[in-house]
Structure 1
Amino acid sequence: MQLIEQFTEKAIRSGRFQPLDKIYVANKVRSLVGDEDVQAKDDEPLVAQLVELAVKRGKIEDGPTAKEILNDQLYDLLTPLPSTVNRLFWEKYEQSPQLATDWFYRLCTNNDYVKVSAIKKNVVFKHKVQGGNELEITINLSKPEKDPKAIAAAAHNKDKQYPQCVLCMENEGYLGRLGHAARSNHRIIRLTLGGHQWGLQYSPYAYFNEHCIFLDAKHEPMQINQQTLVNLVEIEKMFPQYFVGSNADLPIVGGSLLSHEHYQGGRHVFPMMKAPIKEALTFKEYPQVEAGIVDWPMSDLRLISTDTTALINLGAHIINSWDHYSDPQLQLIAEKNGTRHHTVTPIMHRDHEKFVLDLVLRDNNTNEDYPLGIFHPHAQYWHIKKENIGLIEVMGRAILPARLKDELVQVKRFWLKQPNQISEAHLPWAKAVASKREINADNVDEVMQAELAQVFANVLADAGVFKDDAAGQAGWQRFIQKL
């Protein structure tokens, strides 16, 4: 069958158009790729073939930005309008929340908004570390390299941006440009949280199963307070099949986007959620809430209850107390010169009827010894992980940079005494591992996985405010007494 004709029929089957619209849709496609139809190939997606055709005919540049824009314009023709998507979602929600999210996720993978083929490139494995936790390690290969033209354009562009950021509602249907991703095929579910309009979307380059984002309809900075916990509870009541959490709202300990209020969620059980409570706590004013310190490298207080009001109130009390709590013995300073340094990373999931709230205590102070953060990956681990420890990593899933895929091949060659081009940055670590292990061709991959996981565990411990030693445990007790 001819390529444009085949795509047109698929667009009509998608439900956005009626059979009478066939000529109209075909002409929309011709305006993008050229008028003459060609024979379709059986072994390649239709949209990819149409993008190739447009490049060949000079309709678009042969560059990543132009190709992405056209790709998403074509997939938009296969996607119902936002109003239709929202109507169908909430109709399905009446039957079950999971039916609705299953349908919406499938829509977002079928229309290439969620980049399934790119995500499959990621390296993913699990490994146990000292202390017994099984951590998840990913090397993130899915995100495309930035277009050099986009980088240059951004350097010269001083205008106010539209959309203001990548999370704004205004991205829905946005064509895209150099430096701002194409979003023609993007759809957002509208919902209400705390009396305000929010949106639900999926992450294009997901870090775990059904990685979704809940975003404020207004472009306002992130903040962690009692309302955050109210919103997380509302989300858990609305979508009990998902966990939901927020990045911290301060630099160094927060995520990469602090300018737009949002939460992340999805259908995944993270290592931290499986970690047991190592010390049970009781709060006399909240007898209906189970509480305790979690056996985890970072400093995590867990609250469990079926009474969400009590859970929110106790959680807010802990957040407020930590915001103002200092312990100079441990270099924990809540505020300096009017600048706040304490916050939490809050995460919530359901255990049947119970709501489980993890509050991970964060401090973003710096000093001369630790200019990037006292409670941040320390310099000895920067060869593996230098970036902030955000929400996903707090829960035990490392997101490591793409450069490691090739660099770690050279480390393995070094261990096997083969010719190599090992980076100077990896050499001290590689030598230390080699000195304590017998490494051969049969176990080199296992050694690499084990050692990467241990580095990640050490990085999480660096980010913990109360260390797993006598001083740290005494610090925990001092803070709990204040509560």
Structure 2
Amino acid sequence: MPLTGKNTAKVSSIHQRRLIPVIIHGNLVYFKSGIIMENELLNLVERLLDCGEQMALFEPRDRIYLRNQYCDLFDLTPLNSYSISSRNDEITPAECASLILAKLEERIKNRIGETEEQQICKIINIMLPPPSSVENKFNQIKSTDGIINALEWYYNFSCNSDYIKVAAVKRNKSWTSESKYGNLEITINLSKPEKDPKEIAKLKSQPKSDSAYPQCLLCIENEGFAGTSSKPARHNHRILELDLNQQKWYFQFSPYAYYPEHSIIINKNHKPMLIDQNTINSLFDFVDQVPHYLIGSNSDIPIVGGSILNHDHFQAGNYVFPIEKSGVRFSRKIDNVEIEYLNWPVSTLRLNGKRSNLQILTAKIIKHWYHFSMPELGIIAFSETGVRHNAITPVLRKIDNDNYQLYLMLRNNRTNSSHPDGIFHPHENLHHIKKENIGLIEAMGLAILPGRLDYELEEMSRFLEMNDKNLASIELLYDDKMLKHENWLTELYAKYNNFANQNLSQILKNEVGDKFCLVLEDAGVFKQTIAGDQGINDFLDELLAL
């Protein structure tokens, strides 16, 4: 709001003295120009937080959040670690704040450059309780009304605070598609951009940066983070602490939910994905605490992994996926565990049994698969330089008491000259529909297709409506976005004799579903063939002999 009247004269006088007017928490404050020592201010912020914590003005759980708030307010770049020694000097928060103000001078920046998202998050955040209050409320409901009601409250809170982007998610389009493996679920994701698998792979190989803050989009330091031009604002972000496998993890709902109550469980530490026995132990600990949720993890290597490989995390939710309804191709019993090999395009073992038995057998399966090769099927465990190719995508559901179902999807990320993007990855002829990694969610039968398809399918419908292949092909060539579908257009005109009076929208939905089925079949390491069945049986025979 512009200053007028008496305030105008006051500001004029202020400018003559080279003072800068700034509003902090509703108060008009003036700072002299000068040079600020960033480290001194960061140390003073830590000193202020030390003081506030010692005086019980906030819970220790809120420290990261409050640090982010002060650094945003004072235009400071946070550090990933601090070496502030314990002080016994008696100082009040007000006195410490005065020291900060004395140092500030010109540090307050012009907020015009903030994005709309940052401004909205900041406005909403003023109304929200701090993380410790959210966590206390959740735990209170959990203790009195149970975990289902507690998660329902937290989910509604995440929606109402605009952390879950309800409006954006509603724009997504979805349908089911019949296949020989059962119904597959198809979604066109209009809320997030398509990702390039090569860029995803680079993330895990990038050297760790100690200066980046937060180091990735999953780091717990995002809680209350103001955002930058390249990282989203998280003023309104609140997470819940969990103990899994004797380690600290954090629970949150996904801002762009792909399915009901889509949630992310985040390792406290920024470290790369790794699927091992500790992963399996953590999954079991989670479903024991949240028995009505399914939980799983993406594979830990590029191409067959998820979109974020540089921070260990799981995904969970209150949903039944297509893979859980699939048939059984054959079954075996090993170490008191029933193993079912599913009639599913992504090669999957489903283990049924008690927790202790599943944990023991899974450790053997992981170790054996990581070293298993069958060159005649294209499965080679390691590169010539010793880089691992084999990976596992685990998914766990608790059935009741001490009865669990653990899905182990066998993956491999080899490439060759014929398939430079991945032998067990969507092949190039399917990239016009899906090029991204086939991660956990899609391997379970829920397609997350790029938003560009919304426009492209409408155009394809228009081309088919012409009922003239030559005319449609000419039209397609004039649209750069549609060139990728040239072969598909030819296929459709060859498959259907006449498009007149046809439900073109339904035809395209069915065809996209068929393409996604082929995508999943490309991802399978043991194909649904006699040779593939023999291969998985050989793997299980070797496992039995261990």
TM-score (ref. length: structure 2):
0.73
Once the two structures are superposed, residues 396-435 of structure 1 have per-residue CA deviations (whole angstroms, 9 ceiling, x without a partner) of 0111111111111111112111776432221211221232
Q: Deviation of residue 29 (structure 1)?
A: 7.5
Counterpart of 2:235 (choices 184, 196, 204) is 184
Counterpart of 1:261 (choices 296, 312, 317) is 312
Once residues 165 and 232 of structure 1 are traced to their aligned partners in structure 2, the CA distance between those partners, rounded to angstroms, is 23
Give the aligned residue type for 1:346: P
Once residues 393 and 212 of structure 1 are traced to their aligned partners in structure 2, the CA distance between those partners, rounded to angstroms, is 16
Once residues 250 and 122 of structure 1 are traced to their aligned partners in structure 2, the CA distance between those partners, rounded to angstroms, is 28
Specify the alignment match of 1:216 in structure 2: 267
Contact residue 60 and residue 67 of structure 1 kept, 8 A: no
Q: Deviation of residue 346 (structure 1)?
A: 0.3
Specify the alignment match of 2:349 in structure 1: 301
Q: Deviation of residue 145 (structure 1)?
A: 9.6
Once the two structures are superposed, residues 338-370 of structure 1 have per-residue CA deviations (whole angstroms, 9 ceiling, x without a partner) of 111111000111233431110000001111111
Once residues 439 and 270 of structure 1 are traced to their aligned partners in structure 2, the CA distance between those partners, rounded to angstroms, is 34
Specify the alignment match of 1:39 in structure 2: none
Specify the alignment match of 1:329 in structure 2: 376
Specify the alignment match of 1:154 in structure 2: none
Q: Mark the CA change 1:199 to 1:29 in structure 2 (over 3 Å): closer, same or farther.
A: farther
Q: Mark the CA change 1:441 to 1:403 in structure 2 (over 3 Å): closer, same or farther.
A: farther
Specify the alignment match of 2:459 in structure 1: 410
Contact residue 177 and residue 513 of structure 2 kept, 8 A: yes
Contact residue 242 and residue 265 of structure 1 kept, 8 A: yes
Map 1:64-103 onto structure 2 (within 5 A): 66-94=115-143, 95-103=145-153
Q: Mark the CA change 1:132 to 1:239 in structure 2 (over 3 Å): closer, same or farther.
A: same
Map 1:225-374 onto structure 2 (within 5 A): 225-283=276-334, 286-287=335-336, 289-305=337-353, 307-336=354-383, 337-353=385-401, 354-374=403-423
Specify the alignment match of 1:10 in structure 2: none
Once the two structures are superposed, residues 14-64 of structure 1 have per-residue CA deviations (whole angstroms, 9 ceiling, x without a partner) of xxxxxxxxxxxx984899xxxxxxxxxxxxxxxxxxxxxxxxxxx854x8x
Once residues 145 and 478 of structure 1 are traced to their aligned partners in structure 2, the CA distance between those partners, rounded to angstroms, is 38
Give the aligned residue type for 1:113: Y
Q: Which segments of 5 or more consecutive residues in structure 1 lack a partner in the other structure?
A: 1-25, 32-58, 147-157
Q: Deviation of residue 442 (structure 1)?
A: 4.0
Q: Deviation of residue 441 (structure 1)?
A: 4.6
Counterpart of 1:444 (choices 490, 493, 504) is 504
**Stretch deviating more after TM superposition (441-450 or 451-460):** 441-450
Q: Per the alignment, in what secondary structure is the counterpart of residue 392 of structure 2?
A: strand
Contact residue 181 and residue 327 of structure 2 kept, 8 A: no
Specify the alignment match of 2:167 in structure 1: 117
Give the aligned residue type for 2:344: W
Q: Mark the CA change 1:368 to 1:132 in structure 2 (over 3 Å): closer, same or farther.
A: closer
Specify the alignment match of 1:173 in structure 2: 224
Contact residue 174 and residue 187 of structure 2 kept, 8 A: yes
Contact residue 181 and residue 345 of structure 2 kept, 8 A: no
Does residue 431 (structure 1) correspond to residue 490 (structure 2)? The answer is yes
Q: Per the alignment, in what secondary structure is the counterpart of residue 174 of structure 2?
A: strand
Q: Mark the CA change 1:60 to 1:361 in structure 2 (over 3 Å): closer, same or farther.
A: same
Contact residue 174 and residue 184 of structure 1 kept, 8 A: yes
**Stretch deviating more after TM superposition (231-240 or 135-144):** 135-144
Give the aligned residue type for 1:475: G
Q: Mark the CA change 1:190 to 1:433 in structure 2 (over 3 Å): closer, same or farther.
A: same
Q: Per the alignment, in what secondary structure is the counterpart of residue 335 of structure 1?
A: coil
Does residue 400 (structure 1) correspond to residue 410 (structure 2)? The answer is no
Specify the alignment match of 2:69 in structure 1: none
Once residues 27 and 339 of structure 2 are traced to their aligned partners in structure 1, the CA distance between those partners, rounded to angstroms, is 62
Once residues 135 and 430 of structure 1 are traced to their aligned partners in structure 2, the CA distance between those partners, rounded to angstroms, is 23
Q: Deviation of residue 291 (structure 1)?
A: 1.4
Once residues 26 and 493 of structure 2 are traced to their aligned partners in structure 1, the CA distance between those partners, rounded to angstroms, is 58
Counterpart of 1:380 (choices 424, 429, 439) is 429
Contact residue 362 and residue 464 of structure 1 kept, 8 A: yes
How well do the aligned residues superpose, as a CA RMSD in angstroms? 2.0
Specify the alignment match of 1:54 in structure 2: none
Paired positions, count: 413
Q: Per the alignment, in what secondary structure is the counterpart of residue 173 of structure 1?
A: coil
Contact residue 393 and residue 399 of structure 1 kept, 8 A: yes
- Structure with higher Rg: it is 2
Q: Per the alignment, in what secondary structure is the counterpart of residue 436 of structure 2?
A: coil
Give the aligned residue type for 2:137: L
Q: Mark the CA change 1:28 to 1:111 in structure 2 (over 3 Å): closer, same or farther.
A: farther
Give the aligned residue type for 1:402: G
Once residues 26 and 344 of structure 2 are traced to their aligned partners in structure 1, the CA distance between those partners, rounded to angstroms, is 54
Once residues 447 and 163 of structure 2 are traced to their aligned partners in structure 1, the CA distance between those partners, rounded to angstroms, is 24
Once residues 183 and 396 of structure 2 are traced to their aligned partners in structure 1, the CA distance between those partners, rounded to angstroms, is 20
Q: Which segments of 5 or more consecutive residues in structure 2 lack a partner in the other structure?
A: 1-22, 29-109, 196-208, 477-481
TM-score (ref. length: structure 1):
0.82
Q: Deviation of residue 274 (structure 1)?
A: 1.1
Q: Per the alignment, in what secondary structure is the counterpart of residue 306 of structure 2?
A: coil
Contact residue 194 and residue 436 of structure 2 kept, 8 A: no
**Percent identity over paired residues:** 41
Q: Mark the CA change 1:29 to 1:126 in structure 2 (over 3 Å): closer, same or farther.
A: farther
